[in-house]
Structure 1
Amino acid sequence: MMQLLIIPGKAIGKVNLGMDKSETETLIENSPIFYNIEYDDYEKVSFIEVANGAKDFYQCLIPDLNLEVFETKASDIVEMLTKNNVYDEDEESLAGLSYRFSDLGIAFWRPYNLKEEDTLEQWFKEMTPENQHEEMKNFYFESISVFNPE
């Protein structure tokens, strides 16, 4: 499987921060994955985000950390990154949903913070195996983004 390299504060795959809008659109035109890209006033890439669907096509890696983003539990990613970095505290980070590391230029998001102990709760046990499997996807981040470090 091909790799999609995620470089905090710089790039996701071939899309780099600071690229021209026209160059970027040409580059991703036939991409099998969806990129959420934002541009600054000069039509240069200022934000790049990909969702976990990218793992169907690529091994999504942060090479400096040897971290496979969508195959590593969110709690493990946060623990790893907070050893040497600080995330921006806000309501979403306190809820375990979103972590923005402004000094690195990287952020992670998931819609729901499922905890290991939740799987022992009655509401979880009453779910069908298929629904439990779907719910357990919330152990992982759903998207990753890069931006210029602050």
Structure 2
Amino acid sequence: MADQMHILGPLALTVVLSSVIGLERELRRKLAGLRAHTLVGLGAAMFTLAGKYGFNDVVAPGLAVLNPAQMASQVITGIGFVGGGIIVVRHGSARGIITAASIWVVAAVGVTAGTGLWVLAVAAPWPTSWPRRCTRRSSTSCTAVTPSLRACA
């Protein structure tokens, strides 16, 4: 038990960072919010940590080689499949692309935190607060960031 306590650090970091992204989505009243993002990030981190530490007791040294990257690659594939299901195309327009992308980024945060790349994991949530484009050019709640990009208030 005591030898597994070091695993709690990456899990705690993942929960915090995934919650930051999920809270931003929740405040914008998007379908996938705080709980969904936190669960995806936590699951990705847990699978990554399981691939990194979980099989050491069943593998005899010299007989088999563990590749923790295989677990991470399966997380990427699975979340890509989930993200594809989030995107809905109707009448020539696609909805849910940003939600799918944010779920994918949260999974990446979990994988990077689980592998010990904490700086990379911490850097990931900040682009989610970048200005969004306004869908209506005449919207009064928009402020110009650049001549071609307007941020919604």
TM range, smaller chain = under 0.3
Higher Cα radius of gyration: 2
TM-score relative to the length of structure 1: 0.26
Bigger RCO of structures 1 and 2 (CA < 8 A, at least 6 apart): 1
Q: Which protein is richer in strand relative to its size?
A: 1
Which TM-score applies when normalising by structure 2? 0.25
